[in-house]
Amino acid sequence: MTNPILEQLTQHRSIREFEDRPLSPHQVTELVNAAQHASTSTFSQQYSIVSVTDPAKLHAIADVTGHRWMVNGGHYFVMVADQYRNLKIAKAHGIDPYMLHSTDKFLASVFDTAIATENIMVAAESMGLGGTIMGSVLNNPRKMIELLNLPEMTFPLLGIALGYPKDKPELKPRLPKASMHFENQYDLDANFDQELTDYDQLIREYYQSRSTNGRSETFSHHIVSELSGNRNLRSDLFAMIQAQGLMTH
Ligand SMILES: Cc1cc2nc3c(=O)[nH]c(=O)nc-3n(C[C@H](O)[C@H](O)[C@H](O)COP(=O)(O)O)c2cc1C
């Protein structure tokens, strides 16, 4: 069975090269609208979106993320976990905002932000656009907070670079379903060695054959190299999140 939505979802690939063509204000509004209609934990709408249009700020964010190509996109959003608005509501009603500072409420704001982010990506792809979600704004949250004038109880979680695709990268194969979709309980006894060996080979072929940045790397190599990086990278995140007043208990 297929339908246009399933078809589009399974054709997703991150786009990192764009035509020199900005999104229209109408398109940006449509994307924000799509984000707003996502599910939101306890209907608390715990995120905000900053459209970054100032070229100097875009360049500064490119420095943070290390992604020079993002300045050539058609639009850039920063997705911000946000309990500031609800803090103001609590204060206006004389309520003790203790709950807002909890791990539970921080997680809720992360869920809301992430789900809204994916809605933007899916909506953009439905409009013939493409883009890349960027966790690399977390390389320097202090700089992001300063650049965007983010208040207490907010945290910049993700960037989204969008635009008219200039390339169409090969689809990245995902894990074999047997290794990640279980029934009723996590299957600790199953032996997926063969599936994972086959998947490693599939990913090696994908990296070898792709048109840009080709290399010989399996999925296992990729995970090992992800975990062998600089231990100090982003090691200040926990402290930064708490300094913003979030996840203090
Ligand atoms: C939370 C999140 C953070 C990401 N951060 C980055 C990033 O900082 N830079 C980047 O180039 N891609 C980033 N990506 C894109 C992933 O690398 C990409 O989705 C993954 O490699 C799968 O490739 P595909 O999207 O082309 O299928 C991120 C994706 C997610 C979901």
**Cα–Cα dist 248/99, whole Å:** 10
Same domain assignment for residues 201 and 163: no
Residue 23 lies in a domain: yes
**pLDDT tens profile 110-159:** 999 999 999 999 999 999 999 999 999 999 999 999 999 999 999 999 99
Same domain assignment for residues 125 and 211: no
Q: How many residues does the chain have?
A: 249
Residue 20 amino acid letter: D
- Boundary of a domain, candidates 169, 185, 202: 169
Counted domains in the chain: 2
Same domain assignment for residues 67 and 187: no
CATH number of the domain residue 40 falls in: 3.40.109.10
Residue 174 amino acid letter: R
Q: Give the position, in ligand 1's atom list, of the atom nearest the Cα of 118.
A: 31
- Boundary of a domain, candidates 169, 189, 209: 169
Same domain assignment for residues 87 and 187: no
Please, what's the b/e burial string for 204-225 (b: 16 or more CB within 10 A of its CB; e: otherwise)? bebbeeeeeeeeebbbeeeeee
Same domain assignment for residues 137 and 212: no
**Phi, psi at residue 130, to the nearest 5°?**
-145, 175
Tokens of 192: 């997926």
What's the order of all strands across the beta sheet hosting 154-163? 47-51, 75-82, 154-163, 130-134
Range of the domain at 115: 4-169
Q: How far is the CA of 77 from the centre of ligand 1 (A)?
A: 15
**Cα–Cα dist 51/63, whole Å:** 17
Which residue out of 72, 76, 132 has the highest number of ligand 1 atoms within 8 Å of its CB and is therefore the one to mutate? 132
- Answer whether residue 212 shows pLDDT above 80: no
Residue 137 lies in a domain: yes
- Boundary of a domain, candidates 148, 169, 190: 169
Q: How many other C-beta atoms are found inside a 10 Å radius of the C-beta of residue 166?
A: 15
Same domain assignment for residues 159 and 231: no
**pLDDT tens profile 31-43:** 999 999 999 999 9
Q: How far is the CA of 134 from the centre of ligand 1 (A)?
A: 6
**pLDDT tens profile 45-86:** 999 999 999 999 999 999 999 999 999 999 999 999 999 999
Q: How many other C-beta atoms are found inside a 10 Å radius of the C-beta of residue 244?
A: 23
Same domain assignment for residues 240 and 196: yes
Residue closest to 214 by CA, chosen among 164, 168, 169: 169
Q: How far is the CA of 131 from the centre of ligand 1 (A)?
A: 10
User: What is the CB < 6 Å shell around ligand 1?
Assistant: 12-14, 65, 132-136, 158, 172
Same domain assignment for residues 176 and 161: no
Residue 249 lies in a domain: no
Tokens of 101: 């500072």
231 versus 4: the higher-pLDDT residue is: 4
